[in-house]
């Protein structure tokens, strides 16, 4: 029994987890709890090792601590610690190693341009630079969305794609569910450096992962203390290795992602100090491990994101870069639903609703939400008209 047989068995388990999860739990809507905890699904939850932590499970396949780290750090793609994440998430290693990593030529934004072009061809009109500041409700439905510049848009159905806890807290009238959501577990956040560099460092590959020294302690510091670990891990992305258009010839664009804790009002968090320490860590390790000693002088511009940026610019609750966490109690039917419980014409799509975070998964979320709307639209139209009539009648009688 060698590490290689361990690897093959581990990937085989990841493949099983991937197929069962996608077919039975991720790729479908759950309309009630009995569909989720059905007699057919319960044994599958055990097969998926949903109540075993990923790090303890990986020990069955690998003995060496470095291998255990190499086959669990991918949980960070979902903003999770392998010490908390269900062992189900070995499906990530399977997808990465067996299905492969994909990169859209032109960068991630090329995907957005392609999608908006399709939507526009089908008659969708986009209104840009118009943040919604309020959703107005009457009875059991949302009647309009009001933007920062006081434009009011009425509609039969609303789909909220901004972070779900933010919609409950900041866009809807005060509600108890917003407080419940605030108490849930959130994913980690990130400090980002986007660097334009007037030199090319060929030793940097397209994807580079640097793991910090004390693996367990670094996750504790991110997920329990909500800070930057003493010895941070980080990821360096050099897209020009695959896509020449990502940088001028002989120059480079690098982005560095350093996982950190999300914002936490109970702790003092000095983001400026953390940004400086993160930057110095990156320089030191690139020098030590890749022989890059002059990067500092060749950075021509830098953009920095911190958890504050994620919160203030993108409205991510607590600045948690990947939305609500994905532990056992916050996935499937137990995750906030893709339709509001009270306002029946308000749907959600995106990372903090079902099924969860990551680009393929949020696109799936959009598909599931669409399926749900199509299934419910007729009933909704009848009920909404009745509810609206009743709400207006009640309003009239109170004002009289």
Ligand X SMILES: Cc1cc2nc3c(=O)[nH]c(=O)nc-3n(C[C@H](O)[C@H](O)[C@H](O)COP(=O)(O)OP(=O)(O)OC[C@H]3O[C@@H](n4cnc5c(N)ncnc54)[C@H](O)[C@@H]3O)c2cc1C
Residue ranges that bind ligand X, judged by CB under 6 A: 131-132, 161-162, 190, 192, 257, 314-315, 321-322, 350-351, 357-360, 362
Sheet holding 152-154, edge to edge: 132-138, 141-147, 152-154
204: DSSP letter? S
CB atoms within 10 A of CB 347: 24
Instruction: Give whichever of 139 and 261 is closer to ligand X, judged by the CB atom.
Output: 261
Instruction: Give whichever of 53 and 306 is closer to ligand X, judged by the CB atom.
Output: 306
Handedness of CA 74, 30, 364, 116 (dihedral sign): negative
SS3 for 201? coil
- Tokens of residue 344, six digits: 């029946």
% helix / strand / coil in the chain, to the nearest 5? 50, 15, 35
> Nearest distance from residue 147's CB to ligand X, in Å?
7
- Tokens of residue 382, six digits: 């009848």
> Nearest distance from residue 162's CB to ligand X, in Å?
3
Instruction: Give whichever of 41 and 369 is closer to ligand X, judged by the CB atom.
Output: 369
> Nearest distance from residue 315's CB to ligand X, in Å?
4
**Residue 145, beta-bridge partner list:** 135, 153
Instruction: Give whichever of 292 and 321 is closer to ligand X, judged by the CB atom.
Output: 321
Instruction: Give whichever of 6 and 358 is closer to ligand X, judged by the CB atom.
Output: 358
Residues 6+ apart with CB under 8 A from 181: 164, 165, 168, 169, 317, 324, 336
Instruction: Give whichever of 9 and 242 is closer to ligand X, judged by the CB atom.
Output: 242
Is 217 exposed, middle or buried, given 0-12, 13-18 or 19+ CB atoms closer than 10 A?
Answer: middle
Instruction: Give whichever of 201 and 255 is closer to ligand X, judged by the CB atom.
Output: 255
Instruction: Give whichever of 366 and 388 is closer to ligand X, judged by the CB atom.
Output: 366
> Nearest distance from residue 361's CB to ligand X, in Å?
7
Task: Tell me the CA distances in angstroms from 1 to 57, 87, 93, 283, one per residue in order.
Answer: 17, 22, 21, 40
CB atoms within 10 A of CB 150: 8
> Nearest distance from residue 369's CB to ligand X, in Å?
11
> Nearest distance from residue 205's CB to ligand X, in Å?
15
Residue 284: name the closest of 295, 274, 299, 298 by CA.
Answer: 295
> Nearest distance from residue 120's CB to ligand X, in Å?
17
Instruction: Give whichever of 82 and 358 is closer to ligand X, judged by the CB atom.
Output: 358
Is 14 exposed, middle or buried, given 0-12, 13-18 or 19+ CB atoms closer than 10 A?
Answer: buried
Instruction: Give whichever of 238 and 321 is closer to ligand X, judged by the CB atom.
Output: 321
Sheet holding 252-260, edge to edge: 207-210, 234-237, 252-260, 189-197, 299-305
Nearest residue to the partner ligand X, using Cβ: 350
**Where do we find the tokens 């993160």?**
278
> Nearest distance from residue 51's CB to ligand X, in Å?
25
> Nearest distance from residue 102's CB to ligand X, in Å?
9
- Count the alpha carbons within 13 Å of 195 in the hemisphere toward its beta carbon: 23
- Count the alpha carbons within 13 Å of 306 in the hemisphere toward its beta carbon: 16
> Nearest distance from residue 221's CB to ligand X, in Å?
19
């Amino acid at each position: 029994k060698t590490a290689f047989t361990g690897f093959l068995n581990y990937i085989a388990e990841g493949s099983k987890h991937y197929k069962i999860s996608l077919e039975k739990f991720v790729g479908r809507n759950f309309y009630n709890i009995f569909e989720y905890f059905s007699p057919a699904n319960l044994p599958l939850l055990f097969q998926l090792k949903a109540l075993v932590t990923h790090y303890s499970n990986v020990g069955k396949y690998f003995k060496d601590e470095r291998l255990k780290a190499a086959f669990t750090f991918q949980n960070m793609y979902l903003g999770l610690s392998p010490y908390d994440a269900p062992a189900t998430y070995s499906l990530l290693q399977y997808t990465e190693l067996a299905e492969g990593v994909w990169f859209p030529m032109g960068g991630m934004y090329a995907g957005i341009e392609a999608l908006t072009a399709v939507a526009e061809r089908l008659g969708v009109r986009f209104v840009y630079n118009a943040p919604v500041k309020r959703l107005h409700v009457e009875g059991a439905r949302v009647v309009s969305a009001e933007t920062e510049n006081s434009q009011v848009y009425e509609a039969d159905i609303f789909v909220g794609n901004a972070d779900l806890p933010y919609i409950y807290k900041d866009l809807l009238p005060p509600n108890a569910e917003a407080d419940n959501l605030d108490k849930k577990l959130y994913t980690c956040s990130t400090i980002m450096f986007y660097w334009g560099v007037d030199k090319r460092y060929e030793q940097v590959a397209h994807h580079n992962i640097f793991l910090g020294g004390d693996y367990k302690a670094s996750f504790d510091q991110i997920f329990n203390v909500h800070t930057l670990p003493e010895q941070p891990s980080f990821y360096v992305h050099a897209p020009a290795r695959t896509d020449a258009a990502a940088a001028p010839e002989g120059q480079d664009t690098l982005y560095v992602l350093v996982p950190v804790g999300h914002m936490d009002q109970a702790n003092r968090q000095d983001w400026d100090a953390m940004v400086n320490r993160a930057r110095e860590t990156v320089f030191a390790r690139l020098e030590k491990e890749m022989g890059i000693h002059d990067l500092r002088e060749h950075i021509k511009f830098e953009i920095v994101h911190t958890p504050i940026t994620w919160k203030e610019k993108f409205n991510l609750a607590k600045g948690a870069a990947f939305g609500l966490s994905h532990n056992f109690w916050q996935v499937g039917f137990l995750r906030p639903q893709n339709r509001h419980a009270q306002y029946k014409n308000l749907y959600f799509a995106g990372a903090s609703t079902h099924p969860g975070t990551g680009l393929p998964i949020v696109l799936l979320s959009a598909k599931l939400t669409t399926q749900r709307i199509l299934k419910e639209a007729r009933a909704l139209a009848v009920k909404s008209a009745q509810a609206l009539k009743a709400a207006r009648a009640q309003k009239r009688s109170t004002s009289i």
